[in-house]
């Protein structure tokens, strides 16, 4: 008996260990639930509701106050609940057909669709038994947009996602609207809203519409800073896990992936792109222009290239991109949106292999100035790298810095045209034909017989055959206080050196050559003061820092900017191919700091 108990104990311990390690794998990589999501990479967001009838304008006046999001008109323009729904009179119910949105998503190469089932206005797009503020009560014959969309998704093989505004609800007397920061509401009152609207409505959505791929909550601050309690959030999550165990939940529930490993993916801010490779699933929600709901005064359309770059950027960091459409009150998707989506779909038809199921590679995010890399590990141990060329290089060459393995072959993904490729140490060079194989972004595939070996922290060789040594790509980046660019990036990134600062970089030079050195900095002292000293390949070069003066930003507006100026520091002879470390010391007097910007090593 004792033995059996001991044995049982062992089994429990081992199972617990397995469970915990599975849990870490889930967060380190992708849990089983989220596998489809990380493979998908690209999805559609739909903002459509009563506000679509207003198009960002109420009684002749444009949307008030902050953010200019058309779906906020109810709150922004202080519209009464009952008057708000008169906007529904503008809807063309005969024409409205959610299947058309799903077909567009499919043609755009998107793998899932997430619709605003209930946005902040509190109005439900399905036939709800909770309250009287839903689409079925205002249509004859009754409409249930969620049902129609769910059926269309099933028919066309796309996953269905539901946006549900849990925190904010402007229509329920106890729901949250931001004025309650001023005109307070008690926790008990708020819980009434939670128990009588959120919980039963979510139950309906999770019960009546088949498989739900994901629920997309929208609280962009941590729960501790809101009226919502962790207990309420966990109550909600528990119900989702019970009713739809495969349904994903995003971090805008109000719980971060770091805090709760059971959150399936992290949602970044609106139109916020990934900045680093992450091991857990994540996503950026994005708009084609600015507003989410259709806005008649919209003018900020992003180009198809920009949208493609954003999709590729995220895929190259293990992220997802959910791109929004704001259909009009007659169901039409604005041409500016559908045209861009179809163009993206055309590109993905040819190049989708580099996006779907592809993932981040090991090199630094901005290692290369020609674009981004994604990677695919094959079951047989082989690997493919996809080089996304945002611009076809004038030199007809692509340089990849930091890989020590030689590709078995190289070709263009669009037409399989074979390309010459060579490896010199840590530099791979691919020769391109004179013309790009298609529009937007061209993809070069490098195939490897085994997963390629990389070297960290090298500065990449640029398309114009130089090395741009910046604070960001230095070996000691983490110890530098980098001043971010200002005024739309037009005032450059730099490090302010008061007294002394050292910098180190590492590069690989593939052939003997002479490298010219330039140093760019701003110095506002009035006489030569301070030094920049650089050592590389057993040579030293020293520069006395000179005043760089001011420059005029705009005529007649007194906008005078400290000038950044490049100064030649001489040349360095590289006699042998190899790895070189560059050490640099910047010294300034106490009085005037030196704003160090970059070193350029060029042929």
CB of 220 to ligand GLC, least distance (A): 5
Nearer to ligand GLC, 176 or 399 (CB): 176
Nearer to ligand GLC, 270 or 332 (CB): 270
221-225: list long-range contacts, CB under 8 Å, 24+ apart.
221/254, 222/254, 222/256, 223/254, 223/255
CB of 71 to ligand GLC, least distance (A): 5
Chain position carrying tokens 């040349």: 571
CA proximity to 448, closest of 373, 370, 367: 373
Nearer to ligand GLC, 45 or 467 (CB): 45
Nearer to ligand GLC, 71 or 510 (CB): 71
CB of 49 to ligand GLC, least distance (A): 10
What does the binding site for ligand GLC look like in residue numbers (CB under 6 A)?
47, 69, 71-72, 218, 220, 270, 285, 292
Quote the Cα angle for 387-391-396, to 5°.
80
Chain position carrying tokens 């993809």: 443
Listed in sequence order, the residues at least 6 apart from 414 whose beta carbon sits closer than 8 Å to its beta carbon are 350, 351, 437, 438, 442, 443
CB of 598 to ligand GLC, least distance (A): 36
Nearer to ligand GLC, 71 or 148 (CB): 71
Q: Is 360 helix (H, G, I), strand (E, B) or coil?
A: strand
Nearer to ligand GLC, 127 or 218 (CB): 218
The token pair that represents 366 in the structure block:
């901005």
The token pair that represents 346 in the structure block:
């055309």
The alpha carbon of residue 40 and the mean position of all alpha carbons in its chain are separated, in whole angstroms, by 14
Rounded Cα–Cα distance for residues 149 and 102 (Å): 7
Cβ proximity of 65 and 76 under 8 Å: yes
CB of 55 to ligand GLC, least distance (A): 15
Nearer to ligand GLC, 43 or 285 (CB): 285
Nearer to ligand GLC, 220 or 451 (CB): 220
CB of 418 to ligand GLC, least distance (A): 43
CB of 271 to ligand GLC, least distance (A): 8
Residue nearest to ligand GLC (CB): 285
Other C-beta atoms lying within 10 Å of the C-beta of residue 15: 10
The token pair that represents 464 in the structure block:
């114009």
115-130 burial by CB neighbour count: b if 16+ within 10 A, else e?
bbbbbbbbbbbbbbeb
Question: Which run of H or E residues covers position 105?
Answer: helix 98-107
Q: What share of the chain is helix, strand, coil (3-state, %, to 5)?
A: 25, 30, 45
Chain position carrying tokens 């020609």: 370
CB of 118 to ligand GLC, least distance (A): 11
Give, rounded to a whole angstrom, the gap between the first and last alpha carbons of the chain.
80
Nearer to ligand GLC, 237 or 252 (CB): 252
CB of 68 to ligand GLC, least distance (A): 11
HSE-up (13 A, CA, CB side) for residue 541: 18
């Amino acid at each position: 008996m004792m033995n059996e108990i001991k044995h049982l104990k062992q089994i429990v311990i081992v199972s617990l260990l397995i469970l915990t390690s599975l849990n870490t794998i889930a967060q380190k990589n992708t849990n089983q639930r989220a596998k489809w999501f990380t493979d998908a990479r690209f999805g559609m967001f739909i903002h459509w509701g009563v506000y679509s009838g207003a198009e960002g304008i109420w009684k002749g006046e444009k949307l008030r106050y902050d953010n200019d999001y058309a779906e906020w008109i109810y709150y922004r323009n202080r519209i009464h609940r009952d008057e708000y729904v008169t906007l529904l009179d503008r809807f063309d119910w005969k024409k409205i057909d959610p299947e058309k949105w799903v077909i567009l998503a499919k043609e755009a190469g998107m793998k899932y669709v997430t619709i605003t089932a209930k946005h902040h206005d509190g109005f439900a797009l399905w036939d709800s038994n909770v309250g009287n503020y839903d689409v079925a009560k205002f249509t004859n014959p009754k409409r249930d947009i969620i049902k129609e969309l769910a059926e269309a998704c099933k028919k066309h093989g796309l996953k269905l996602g539901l946006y549900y505004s849990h925190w904010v609800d402007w229509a329920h007397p106890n729901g949250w609207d931001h004025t309650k920061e001023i005109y307070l509401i008690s926790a008990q009152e708020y819980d009434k809203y939670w128990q009588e609207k959120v919980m039963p409505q979510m139950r309906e959505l999770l019960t009546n519409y088949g498989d739900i791929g994901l629920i997309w909550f929208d609280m962009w601050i941590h729960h501790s800073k809101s009226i919502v309690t962790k207990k309420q959030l966990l109550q909600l999550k528990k119900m989702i896990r019970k009713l739809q165990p495969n349904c994903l939940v995003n971090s805008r529930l109000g719980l971060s992936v770091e805090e709760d490993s059971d959150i399936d993916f992290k949602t970044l801010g609106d139109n916020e792109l990934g900045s680093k490779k992450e091991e857990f699933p994540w996503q950026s929600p994005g708009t084609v222009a600015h507003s989410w709901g259709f806005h008649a005064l919209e003018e900020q359309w992003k180009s198809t290239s920009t949208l493609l770059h954003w999709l590729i950027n995220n895929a190259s960091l293990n992220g997802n991109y959910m791109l929004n459409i704001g259909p009009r009150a007659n169901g039409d998707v604005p041409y500016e949106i559908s045209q861009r989506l179809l163009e993206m779909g055309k590109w993905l038809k040819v190049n989708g292999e580099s996006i779907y199921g592809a993932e981040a590679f090991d090199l630094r995010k901005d290692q290369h100035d020609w674009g981004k890399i994604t990677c695919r590990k094959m079951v047989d141990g082989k690997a493919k790298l996809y080089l996304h060329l945002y611009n076809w290089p004038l030199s007809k060459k692509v340089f990849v810095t930091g890989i020590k393995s030689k590709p078995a072959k190289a070709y263009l993904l669009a037409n399989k045209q074979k390309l010459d490729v060579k490896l010199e140490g840590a530099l791979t060079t691919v020769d391109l034909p004179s013309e790009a194989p298609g529009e937007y972004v061209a993809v070069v595939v490098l195939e490897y017989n085994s997963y390629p070996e990389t070297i960290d922290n090298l500065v990449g060789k640029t398309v114009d055959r130089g090395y741009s040594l910046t604070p960001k790509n230095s070996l000691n980046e983490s110890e530098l206080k980098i001043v971010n660019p200002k005024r739309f990036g037009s005032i450059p990134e730099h490090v302010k050196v008061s007294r002394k600062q050292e910098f180190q970089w590492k590069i690989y030079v593939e052939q003997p050559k002479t490298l010219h050195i330039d140093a760019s900095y701003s110095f506002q002292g009035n006489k030569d003061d301070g030094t920049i000293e650089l050592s590389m390949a057993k040579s030293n070069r020293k520069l006395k820092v000179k005043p760089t003066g001011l420059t005029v930003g705009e005529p007649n507006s007194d906008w005078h900017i400290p000038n950044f100026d490049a100064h030649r520091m001489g040349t360095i002879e590289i006699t042998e191919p190899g790895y070189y470390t560059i050490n640099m010391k910047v010294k300034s007097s106490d009085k005037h700091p030196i704003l160090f910007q970059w070193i350029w090593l060029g042929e």
